[in-house]
Amino acid sequence: MALQANKKILVALDGSSQSFETIKYIGGVKLFKQEHIELVLYTVYNAMPQAYRDLGKDPQFAKVYSEVLHWEHNEKKRCEGFLEQAQVALRDAGIPASQVKVKLRKKKVGIARDIIKEAHDGYSAVMIGRRGGGLIKDIHLGSVAVKLISALTDVPLCVVGQDVPVTGKILMALDISDYARRVVDFAAATLVPHDYHLRLFHAIRSETSLPPEAEELLRSEVQSHLLHLREGLITAGVQPDLVTIRILTGIRSRAEAVIEEAVREGIGTIMMGRSGIHKISDFFIGRVSNKVIQMAKKQAVWIIT
């Protein structure tokens, strides 16, 4: 799925300074300054539980009700202030106000479920901060991040870390599955007008049980696969000198290799396929995509469906 004409991106924010990292990232990336992109800043705030509203009918709980009502009001005002700051920051970064919309909603079912429901209302991508003061504290079982990654199997998702370097380079971590083709298709349809340097990257783990000739055959197959994907990007309009290939062999951890490559090359944006992220139980079984998300504290990772 590409960010096609008149498409909107859901930017999930929680009002914390950490989630402002997503705004900083958006402001620095040329992709989001296209006229046809609409950014929807979406915040779910905690509202008064129904039980407290019922207590408000009883005079003896009037004080408690009043305090909780005041808390809800302050929570809403805090989020309104944050969203206003976010709009100003995006405008200062060169994104027209007409391309930015705001949705501030009371929590209905739960923060994650509310975001997931909104995400399926015609959005072409979803963006979240890796950490937050309530939305996403970290990637661990039970967090909002895991729930979004698990549930959004049909919408591209970008998880943004802290102090992400914004450069004209993107690391495309590719395997030999159909997901690699989807990543390339997404990049071809989305990034071509912006002259990004694209690094097609694959890491082959060290397999002591394989004879040298088998490892060489595997490397040759990967090389052929990446060359084919590179040709697809060039056919789509990417300049040949902007697409490079890097294959590493004898790697202990493919996820570590991806992060190390990004750090070494000063690349802040990583794109990769979903590759097995289908449900929460899949998140900790050693899948490369999952591990990269966990390790990418200072990168923005796009998971393409």
- Cβ proximity of 99 and 37 under 8 Å: yes
Which contacts of 73-76 are long-range, i.e. CB under 8 A and separated by 24 or more positions?
Answer: 75/45, 75/46, 75/47, 76/45, 76/104
Q: Indicate the number of domains in the chain.
A: 2
HSE-up of 126 (CA within 13 Å, CB side)? 27
One domain, residues 226 and 126 = no
pLDDT at 134 over 60: no
- 12 and 154 both lie in a single domain: yes
95: its two tokens:
């994104």
Show which of 160, 193, 214 is a domain's final residue. Answer: 160
Q: Do both 202 and 138 map to the same domain?
A: no
3-class DSSP state of 39:
strand
**Where is average pLDDT lowest: 56-60, 169-173, 300-304?**
56-60
Boundaries of domain holding 98: 7-160
156 & 174 share domain: no
The closest alpha carbon to 157, from 10, 279, 266, 262, belongs to 10
Please check whether residue 131 lies inside any domain of the structure: yes
* Adjacent-strand bridge partners of 44: 105
**Three-class DSSP category at 220:** helix
Q: Are residues 108 and 143 located together in one domain of the fold? A: yes
Asked whether residue 148 falls in the same domain as residue 67, the answer is: yes
pLDDT averaged over every residue in the chain: 86
- Asked if 190 and 151 sit in the same domain, the reply is no
Position 53 pLDDT exceeds 80: no
Give domain status of residue 80, yes or no: yes
CA 236, CA 72: separation in Å to the nearest integer? Answer: 50
Tens-place pLDDT, residues 226-275: 999 999 999 999 999 999 999 999 899 999 999 999 999 999 999 999 86
Higher pLDDT, 74 or 150: 74
Q: Domain holding 181: CATH number?
A: 3.40.50.620
Query: What does the DSSP 8-state code read for residue 207?
Result: -
Q: How many residues does the chain have?
A: 305
- Residue 118 domain flag: yes
Mark whether 189 and 219 lie in a shared domain.
Answer: yes
Whether 282 and 227 share a structural domain: yes
Report if residue 2 sits inside a domain. Answer: no
Cα 31 from Cα 48, distance rounded (Å): 38
- The band of 136, judged by pLDDT with boundaries at 50, 70 and 90, is very low
Report the half-sphere exposure of 184 (CA within 13 A, side-chain side). Answer: 26
Answer with the residue of higher pLDDT: 138 or 18. 18
Question: Would the pLDDT of 114 be above 50?
Answer: yes
Task: Let me know if residue 1 belongs to a domain.
Answer: no
Predicted confidence (pLDDT) per residue in 2-38, tens digit: 565 558 999 999 888 888 999 999 999 988 998 889 9
Q: Looking at residue 137, what is its pLDDT?
A: 45
Domain end among 136, 160, 184: 160
| Mean pLDDT, residues 33-57 taken together | 81
Residues 40 and 152 placed together within one structural domain of the fold: yes
| Same domain (yes/no): 49, 190 | no
Q: Indicate if 217 and 288 belong to the same structural domain.
A: yes
In angstroms, rounded to a whole number, what is the distance separating the alpha carbons of residues 293 and 127?
13
In a domain, 21, yes or no: yes
In this predicted structure, what is the pLDDT of residue 222?
A: 95
